[in-house]
Structure 1
Amino acid sequence: MAQAESIVFITGGVRSGKSSFAERLTADIWRQSNAGQLHYIAAMQASDAEMKKRILKHQEGRSQSGLEWITWEKPVSIGELADSFQEQDVVLLDCLTTWLNNELFFEKSEWQEEFFLAHLFEEMWNGIRLIAQRARTLVIVSNEVLHEPIASNELVFQYSRLLGKLHQQIVVSASKAFLVESGTPVEMKGVGK
């Protein structure tokens, strides 16, 4: 079983620099362990030209890092990867908001059902928990979308509600949590906090 410091949470606005920070932090954690593999779980799907550019940028960044990232492209059911990780592995999941979006739209007609939303929360949280238990550290990136007024759109409301619930559960269980603003990480939970 992994150490107590098995979840690190990183959030911030869109294009805030959180993914770059997460990659550097994940690599630093991996270097400190001097063992295990370095993994990247990519939840993003290339649905349009902009997404393709973003995916390519992330891939190039990892390639240029000189590190041997093992990349898993998994837009849904990420918890199924848990058995792929070993005790000394360090895993970066980028990103929770994309993963949630994928899960909601995978079952397009069920997002209005409270049972479906409760089941989805449990499935996603259990997947996170299982990966964190298997690996030395799981670093999770997420977008901070909850500062904006919630539209009257019911789907946006349910998405925001579920994301907020996941954020809270993850941060309670995390050893460290960071908010990245304008490329600057601020430690919100961790040593000395």
Structure 2
Amino acid sequence: MAAQHQLIVGGQRSGKSRQAERLALAWGSAASGHQVTVIATARALDGEMQARISRHQQDRPAGFATVEAPLQLAAACQANADPKRLLLVDCLTLWLTNWLMPMSGKPDLAGWEAELQALLDVLPSLASPVLFVSNEVGWGVSPMSREARFYVDELGRLNQQVALRCQDLTLMVAGQAWTRSVEKPV
């Protein structure tokens, strides 16, 4: 039987990461030998982002291992998969940003499509349960630039595709979790 996965979405400061950490702690304490590995996708490219990353690291529960995977998320999931290890991916939003809005300039769309497909392909057979954290950005005003609209659309598609490979979906609103089983297409 494949491991159970969950997607946790919400706006900024909605409590997504905190909820994922609570679930991971509960999973880790449920049985002897359970471990948690955070797969972090953020890049510390400026002082503000360095501070955010530092806050996340300081707030993270003791005993959680961390692996940095700003681009190769599928490989990081495969390399760290184990039935006794929960993977907490924080977050899909920044992973997508790293592909579509790199500081070096032009996005690598072919690389993004290949990496996305690799992740989608590996999830159904992954030995570890995975908690994915992602932003829900499609509820606001449509961005003015073509690039920003493309990003918002792509994040929406990413969240939908990952959700279809998860058993549960949680929407975070003002620190409150609303969870339900994912409905699979007929």
TM-score class, shorter-chain normalisation, is 0.7 to 0.9
Alignment of 1:108 onto 2:105: yes
The structure 2 residue matched to 1:83, chosen from 76, 79, 82, is 79
Count residues with an aligned counterpart. Answer: 181
Aligned match of 1:98: 94
SS at match of 2:164: helix
Alignment of 1:23 onto 2:21: yes
Whichever residue aligns with residue 75 of structure 2, its letter is E
**C-alpha deviation, 1:129, in angstroms:** 4.4
**C-alpha deviation, 1:89, in angstroms:** 1.2
Alignment partners' CA distance in 1, 2:158 and 2:37 = 22
Contact 2:3 2:83 in 1 (8 A): no
**C-alpha deviation, 1:20, in angstroms:** 0.6
Alignment of 1:124 onto 2:121: no
Higher share of residues assigned helix:
1
Aligned match of 1:135: 127
SS at match of 1:160: helix
**C-alpha deviation, 1:127, in angstroms:** 2.1
Aligned match of 2:51: 53
- CA distances 1:15-34 after superposition (whole Å, capped 9, x unpaired): 11111111111221232243
**C-alpha deviation, 1:104, in angstroms:** 1.2
Residue segments in structure 2 that go unaligned for 5+ positions in a row: none
TM-score (norm 1): 0.83
Residue segments in structure 1 that go unaligned for 5+ positions in a row: none
**C-alpha deviation, 1:55, in angstroms:** 0.9
Alignment partners' CA distance in 1, 2:117 and 2:144 = 27
Whichever residue aligns with residue 73 of structure 2, its letter is I
**C-alpha deviation, 1:54, in angstroms:** 1.3
TM-score (norm 2): 0.86
Alignment partners' CA distance in 2, 1:128 and 1:37 = 23
C-alpha root-mean-square deviation of aligned residues, in Å? Answer: 2.3
Contact 1:46 1:52 in 2 (8 A): yes
The structure 2 residue matched to 1:157, chosen from 149, 158, 163, is 149
> Identity across aligned pairs (percent)?
29
